[in-house]
Structure 1
Amino acid sequence: MAAAMDVKQLQETSRQLSKAFDGGDPSTTLLTLLAPLEKWKASEDLLRQSKIGIAVSKLRSSKDSKVALLASQLINKWKADVKTKKPGVTGTPGKNGLNGDLRSQTNSPAPKKEVLAPPPPAPKKFSVAPEKRNAKEDGVDTALTGNPTRDGSITLIYNGLAFMSEEAPADILAVSKSVEAAAFELYQPETSTTYKQKMRSLHLNLKMKQNAELRKDVFSRAIEPKRFVSMSSEELKSEEMRKKEKEIAKENMNKSMTPSQDKSISTTLQCGKCKQSKVAYSLAQTRSADEPMTAFCECTVCGHFWKFS
């Protein structure tokens, strides 16, 4: 049975949908708000007055497939509702399941042209190379909280997410706002050292060229904002960075385990090249303790190098 909804109810639902979508609320919230509309039978007047079509059309670009699918189904259903034959008009079904030429079968005026809410405007594009993107270049206004410190943090996160990104500025801004809100909830007040250091750390990790996977996961919400702002510095590193650090640590350990060889200066050994007697040498065991030591010699005058046992 179709649910009856008046203009005020539809306008309120439209407002809540737009707020939830722009604010990056979970998909479950959007699905809950859309549910009552599945039973609502649309009319041209209510669509025009409430502008519910604009809010729902916008959801067709949602990253969540369930939300996008339901929004598309609702738009198609409302189109069918508006096309429904008006009372008093008779005729046999024609092409596409609609009545034939209504003007030739009745003296009633021609039906009004279908009017649905226009589709949402295309996302604003960016005009600079992906590696140069930031809030200023994208023309994004990050003054969203009324607090300069928090707004500055939204800018930092936006700059990190926009780096090397092809996504629309509005979508990046929505995620940036959610991340800052999660950080503020966990580390408030915004004047605390913990909050400020955390926001700088998140920005720096997002801006690292080799951290593309982190940027992708945060933007797509594979890593939710609450999880992201609580990650340790080790967790924020990319797999490539972890691997490189392990290699450096291993190399340093190997170096620390290599015995140093102290060199001595001899005035009796003579360089076979320049015939000078200022020779630096060191002794080392090359194979086993049963074999004689090997002397590694270097002339301090000409640099000639030789060895002998």
Structure 2
Amino acid sequence: MMDQRELEARVKALNKSISANEPASNALSLLKTLKDDANPTEEMLRATRAGVLVGKLRSHQNKEIATAATQLVSKWRKLVEQEKASKAKLAKSGTPASSGSPVSAGASSSSAPAPAPAAASSSGASKTYQGDPEKRRAETDKVDTNRTKSDTRNNCIKLMYNGLAYRSTDHQDVVLAKAVAVEDAAFRMFGGDEKHKEYPKKIRSLFQNLKNKTNAELGQRVMAGDIPPDRFVKLSDAELLSAEQRKTNELYEKENMKKAQVPMAEKSVSSEFKCARCGEKKVSYSQAQTRSADEPMTTFANFS
């Protein structure tokens, strides 16, 4: 199930997809994921404004998007009603219920929160990872990375999770939300086509850079939000390098340029000279030294 961060990331991605007039399939895919995986609480919906944003799509000019948004709003509304009924029942029985402000009119008509997942999104996300951060993987963290109906996309989410979790002490839910957001950004960047050859290639490139032991700051900056998912997936190989790596590469390039220039300099020096008087070619001093002792040698006297 989605936590608050992941819900917010998906809704933002949906909003951007609509604003940028991307293919309808992108928005439909995000709406389907929200319908299948999101059971937000009333508090989560209010904090992310997910209900308001999705509710506006019910009047979208694309009928498929409008229908999908209407179905999602209907599901969330029922969940909100269930949550309120549950709170009312607890109140009657004398059991303290968790406080929560009622959903605003706009939100209640366009969204509906659901009971929070067992692994509380509010408290779970604030906890830190207690194991060895250098051995983290989806398997060791016991995280389900199957967030879509596509095996290809799920594998990419898993790969991204493994890269972001490496050396991170963030809670599993936080890392998963970020991995989903990054994969979604890459998926949208290549037209929402999982068969696009550059899509998995980009994910592998990001993973390899995240796992690079000399580039620890990259994962930290992505997790901290310094590098948003949409920007992260657009960075070139050179931009993904750490400052230390770039400096090392520059040193290598300078050294290679020096080595390349040496043979050219040697070839430009002639091993022979011409006498200023007669024009006769004479060997250089260094070349003359290599001759055998019994071989006649022209002295520098001949040059004058």
If the length of structure 1 is used for normalisation, what is the TM-score?
Answer: 0.49
Partner of 2:212: 208
Instruction: Letter of the 2:198 partner, please give it.
Output: T
Task: Say yes or no: does 1:191 pair with 2:195.
Answer: yes
Paired with 1:177 and 1:296, the residues of 2 have a C-alpha distance of 73
Work out whether 1:227 is the aligned partner of 2:236.
no
In the alignment, is residue 180 of structure 1 matched against residue 183 of structure 2? yes
Aligned-pair CA distance for 1:258: 2.3
Alpha-carbon offset, residue 292 of structure 1: 4.9
1: distance between equivalents of 2:196 and 2:258?
42
Shift of 1:242: 0.7
Q: How far did residue 296 of structure 1 move?
A: 9.6
Q: Give 1:141's match in structure 2, choosing from 123, 128, 144.
A: 144
Kept in 2, the 8 Å contact 1:128–1:137? The answer is no
* CA displacement 1:283-305 (0-9 Å, x = unmatched): 9xxxxxxx9539999xxxxxxxx
- Among 79, 85, 98, the alignment partner of 1:116 is 98
- Aligned equivalents of 2:11, 2:151: Cα separation in 1: 30
C-alpha distance in structure 2 between counterparts of 1:213 and 1:230, whole Å: 18
Q: Identity rate of aligned residues, in percent? A: 34
Contact in 2 for aligned 1:51/1:117 (Cα 8 Å):
no
Instruction: Tell me: higher relative CO, structure 1 or 2? Use CA pairs within 8 A at least 6 residues apart.
Output: 2
Relative distance call for 1:292 and 1:226 in structure 2 (3 A) is same
**1:21 and 2:5 matched:** yes
Note the C-alpha offset of 1:256: 1.9
Could you tell me how far apart the structure 2 residues matched to 1:142 and 1:56 are?
A: 23
Task: Provide the rounded CA distance (Å) in 2 between the counterparts of 1:242 and 1:132.
Answer: 27
Asked if structure 1 preserves the Cα contact closer than 8 Å seen for 2:3 and 2:173, the reply is no
Q: Based on CA coordinates, which of the two structures has the bigger radius of gyration? A: 1
Unaligned runs of 5+ in 2: 14-39, 49-93, 101-119, 272-283, 291-304
- Map 1:261-276 onto structure 2 (within 5 A): none
Q: 1:295 to 1:52 in 2, by over 3 A?
A: farther
Q: Tell me how far 1:27 sits from its aligned partner.
A: 11
What is the CA deviation profile of residues 85-114 of structure 1, one whole-angstrom value per residue up to 9, with x for unaligned ones? xxxxxxxxxxxxxxxxxxxxxxxxxxx685
CA shift, 1:206, in A, is 1.0
CA contact (8 A) 1:153 1:199 kept: yes
RMSD: 3.9
- CA-CA distance at 1:212 after TM superposition: 1.5
- Please give the per-residue CA displacement for 1:215-269, whole angstroms capped at 9, x wherever unaligned: 111112211111111111111111111100010111111122224999xxxxxxx
Question: Structure 2 counterpart of 1:144, which letter?
Answer: R
Distance 1:202 1:121, change over 3 A: same
Structure 1 alignment gaps of length 5 or more: 1-14, 30-49, 60-111, 263-282, 284-290, 298-309
Match in the other structure for 2:167: 164
Q: Which has the higher strand share?
A: 1
1:222 and 1:244 map into 2 onto residues whose CA distance is: 24
- Residue equivalent to 1:217: 221
Q: 1: distance between equivalents of 2:161 and 2:5? A: 18
Give the 3-state SS of the residue equivalent to 1:131 in structure 2. helix
Residues 161 and 179 in structure 2, CA contact (< 8 A), matched pair in contact too: yes
The TM-score, its normalising length taken from structure 2, stands at: 0.50
Count of aligned positions? 181
Deviations 1:73-132 (A, max 9, x none): xxxxxxxxxxxxxxxxxxxxxxxxxxxxxxxxxxxxxxx685435985545765642111
Residue type of the partner of 2:151?
Answer: P
Aligned in 2, Cα 1:224/1:293: closer, same or farther, shift over 3 Å? same
Residues 148-157 or 223-232, more deviating: 223-232
Give the Cα separation in 2 of the matches to 1:237 and 1:181: 22
| Shift of residue 145, structure 1, vs aligned partner | 0.6
